[in-house]
């Protein structure tokens, strides 16, 4: 009964984390700003960290099934 919310949360976290990491990588490779008003290295590091944490949360949710 509790697997439905875990699947939804896992899918949401995994898709968001993967998309954020992909978007950050593409922006950084094209030397475009990741976040306006923030130094590029800081922006890439923080968005990469947020994407990785979200991806790990999604994997953790799927592991709880």
pLDDT, tens digit, for every residue of 23-47? 999 999 999 999 999 999 999 999 9
Q: In the predicted model, is pLDDT for residue 2 greater than 80?
A: no
Domain count, the chain: 1
Q: How far apart are CA 21 and CA 33, in angstroms?
A: 14
Residue located via tokens 């306006």: 36
Length of the chain (residues): 65
- What DSSP character marks residue 27? H
| Residue 1: strand, helix, or coil | coil
Q: How far apart are CA 13 and CA 44, in angstroms?
A: 19
Region of poorest pLDDT, from 1-5, 22-26, 61-65: 1-5
Range of the domain at 8: 3-63
Q: How far apart are CA 1 and CA 61, in angstroms?
A: 15
């Amino acid at each position: 009964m509790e697997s439905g919310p875990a699947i939804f949360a896992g899918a949401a976290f995994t898709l968001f984390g993967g998309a954020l990491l992909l978007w950050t990588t593409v922006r950084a490779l094209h030397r475009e700003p990741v976040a306006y008003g923030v130094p590029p290295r800081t922006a890439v590091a923080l968005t990469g960290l947020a994407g990785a944490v979200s991806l790990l949360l999604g994997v953790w949710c799927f592991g709880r099934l």
